[in-house]
Amino acid sequence: MITLSFKEQIAHVTLARPKKRNALDYEMFKQLDKAIKTIKKRKDIRAVILDAQGQDFCSGLDVKGVMAKPRQVLSLLFKWLPGNQNLAQRVTLGWQELNVPVIALIQGRCWGGGMQIALGADFRIATKDASFAIMEARWGLCPDMGASLIIPSLLKADDYQRLALTAQPIEASEALELGLISTLEENPMAAAQQLIADIIERSPDAMAAIKRLTTSAYRQGHRRQLARETWSQVRLLMCKNTRIAVKNASSDKQYDYQHRRSW
């Protein structure tokens, strides 16, 4: 579940599935996409705060729930043209297409799909107890929510591959050192409100222009990259090693992977 509210020219988007550690199910993807589109239509909004209820920002994709229904997987990955954004990519890249700054407030787990959504924000403010992980490889998959367009502006290639290949969580202090997050704060909301107070003193037209220029500078050739993300994921979903990885992650047992690629 996602909640959306507006107060004093600030849009507030909250992941609200705390009993499931805000794991992303199909309905949450649709609601996030709708929230972004709703905010985009509002000309009075000056900033967006993205946060989550409970102890964790988001523990990642609800893999069992989503993959149990093939139509949901198809709906997440479907696009009319290869370079277009699909639903999974829009909930990450959609934040960057808003003309106002988006600030993600992160506590606890920020893993997998949750981390990719947070990467779409312009600023990521985390608590010291937060942890971060690119978890897709654990399920035999690759990150496919558009974050590959953003990562090059934040991480060195070897740091990214280490996180993506091992699927191991890192602490907030390391995430700050690597550049995955903007700052660590005991009270992220207070820090976000202060940042917003400083920003809204400036012209909204200048703010929109600066964000557009910054975003475009880091997204050269993005249509080809988006097509590669989706095609890679589709191929992985069809290969035997992915099924083995899902069983492995679900049961914590060890399985023998095929040494040759299935595709």
Sequential DSSP letters for 111-139: ETHHHHHHHTSSEEEE-TT-EEE--GGGG
Q: What is the pLDDT of residue 260?
A: 53
Q: Looking at the whole model, is its pTM more than 0.85?
A: yes
263 assigned to some structural domain: no
Question: Does the pLDDT of residue 256 top 70, yes or no?
Answer: no
Question: Does the pLDDT of residue 200 top 70, yes or no?
Answer: yes
Q: How confident is the model at residue 178 (pLDDT cuts 50, 70, 90)?
A: very high
Domain residues for the domain of 42 are 2-199
Percent of the chain at pLDDT exceeding 70: 93
57 assigned to some structural domain: yes
21 assigned to some structural domain: yes
Q: What is the pLDDT of residue 132?
A: 98
The values of phi and psi at residue 85, to 5°, are -85, 135
96 assigned to some structural domain: yes
Q: How confident is the model at residue 244 (pLDDT cuts 50, 70, 90)?
A: confident
161 assigned to some structural domain: yes
252 assigned to some structural domain: no
Q: What is the pLDDT of residue 250?
A: 67
Q: How confident is the model at residue 221 (pLDDT cuts 50, 70, 90)?
A: low
37 assigned to some structural domain: yes
Question: What is the CATH number for 101?
Answer: 3.90.226.10
172 assigned to some structural domain: yes
Q: What is the pLDDT of residue 166?
A: 94
Give the total number of structural domains in the chain.
Answer: 1
- pLDDT tens-digit series, residues 17-65: 999 999 999 999 999 999 999 999 999 999 999 999 999 999 998 877 7
Question: Does the pLDDT of residue 259 top 70, yes or no?
Answer: no
Q: With beta carbons less than 8 A apart as the criterion, state whether 95 and 122 touch.
A: yes
Question: For residue 162, what is the enclosing H or E element?
Answer: helix 157-166
- pLDDT tens-digit series, residues 117-174: 999 999 999 999 999 999 888 888 888 898 888 998 999 999 999 999 999 999 999 9
| Closest alpha carbon to 48 in 112, 126, 100 | 100
Catalogue the E-assigned strands of the chain. 2-7, 10-15, 47-52, 102-106, 109-111, 123-126, 131-133, 170-171, 183-184
